[in-house]
Amino acid sequence: MVFNLIPVISQFPLTTLVPEWFYLFSGLIYFAVAAISFFISYFSFRLFNVTSSKSHSVLSLSFLLIGIAFGMLSFVSLYTYQNSAALNPNIFNLNENTYNIYYIFALAAYILLTMINLPKKKSEFFVFVPLWFISSPGFLATAILFLFYISARSVMNFFKVKTEDAFLVMFAFLMITLFHIFLLLMPFGIELYLAAHAFLIVGFLSLLAMLIRVTRK
Amino acid sequence: MIEGKKIERRTKADIFFDILRIVQQDQGKTKTTRILYGANLSYARLKKYLDYLIQNGFLEKVEKEAIYFVITEKGLQFIQEFRKVKRFSEAFGITI
């Protein structure tokens, strides 16, 4: 089976070529991730109405940002797949702009998730995010740093409460961290791109499983 | 610290949940003394919480021979929602 090879737009140097069906594959995964994120955001917001807890509102906002970020990626990936035969500068520009917005939204979401997980006694902290994150490797490296912290906290939480729900959340954050690590390593092999997206969808399915378990009566 | 375990303070929401659950477990209708012992509160604090729950429609006060507290539909819904809140928050390591 022969596939057309097209560049991974706005993620890495244009010398990185992937089969065009990768755009369909990643577009569908991003769509599922966005949908799950919106569900979690909505549920957290409902809980915020019960508890008026700041943590629930921040959690809701962070997943809303993740949902918007991946929703945009889904749109642009599927659009690129549809128009890959006539790859023109407009598609490159659209991809570049969308990825830049994605970097900002996703990083904002990870910072909010980090805030929720900060030790309660330290009420003030300062996050310095240099603007170099607005490039793929820069974004991935910064995101991985935040996700390492979030994952470590979720591991500690799992060992503290030892529930299946906490395990699913811990597993999800570890998978999302692996997604970013594998994307960063993508220049070493196209198959890493495929594996990264497999980790991403498995992670979000784990969050969906947790949500279903919690919401069912 | 007791036996190496940290005692965690109950939040207001936790106390509301405890009070409503005691009433629910007693066939939805119970006396003040049962709630007092079950929720482990002083009388003054319990009165404050009961007033809040009655004012907001989670409980009803019925006076027949003795004073009873009856859980409302809204109170039952709160118990269900709060169980979800606890599970979800615990999964993410969030303290309410």
Residue A113, pLDDT > 90, answer yes
pLDDT confidence of residue A85 = 59
Give B5's pLDDT tier (boundaries 50, 70, 90).
very low
**Contact across the interface for B87 and A157, Cβ inside 8 Å:** no
Give A217's pLDDT tier (boundaries 50, 70, 90).
low
Using a CB–CB cut-off of 8 Å, the residues of B that contact A are: 13, 78, 80-82, 84-85, 87-96
pLDDT tens-digit profile of A70-109?
999 999 888 888 876 566 667 777 777 888 889 889 999 9
pLDDT confidence of residue A87 = 62
**Contact across the interface for A214 and B80, Cβ inside 8 Å:** no
| DSSP string for residues in A174-217 | HHHHHHHHHHHTGGG-HHHHHHHHHHHHHHHHHHHHHHHHHH--
Neighbour-count burial of B87, counting CB atoms closer than 10 A to its CB (0-12 exposed, 13-18 middle, 19+ buried): middle
Top-level class of domain B12-88:
mainly alpha
**Contact across the interface for A51 and B13, Cβ inside 8 Å:** yes
The overall average pLDDT reported for chain B is 86
* Min Cα–Cα distance to chain A from B84, Å: 6
Top residue of A40, A49, A56 to mutate, by most chain B CBs within 10 Å, is: A56
Give A5's pLDDT tier (boundaries 50, 70, 90).
low
Asked if A50 has any chain B CB less than 8 Å from its own CB, the reply is: yes
Amino acid at B21: R
pLDDT confidence of residue B4 = 44
Highest mean pLDDT among A125-134, A184-193, B35-44: B35-44
What six digits make up the tokens of B33? 């003394």
The domain segmentation of chain A, as residue ranges, is 16-113+130-215
Return the closest-CA partner of residue A205 out of A21, A64, A29, A26: A29
pLDDT confidence of residue A51 = 79
The overall average pLDDT reported for chain A is 83
Q: What is the pTM of this model?
A: 0.81
Give A158's pLDDT tier (boundaries 50, 70, 90).
very high
Angle at A96 between CA A91 and CA A100, to 5 degrees: 150
- Chain B residues near residue A217 by CB distance under 8 angstroms: 80
DSSP count for chain B of H helices, then E strands? 4, 3
**Contact across the interface for B89 and A47, Cβ inside 8 Å:** yes
CA distance linking residue B25 with residue B8, whole number of Å: 24
Task: Give CA A171 to chain center in angstroms.
Answer: 14
A88: left (phi over 0), alpha (psi -120 to 50) or beta: beta
Amino acid at B66: A
Closest residue, chain A, to B95 (C-alpha): A55
Count Cβ–Cβ pairs < 8 Å, chain A vs chain B: 63
Q: Residue B91 is nearest to which of A55, A166, A217, comparing CB atoms?
A: A166
Q: Is the ipTM of this complex over 0.90?
A: no
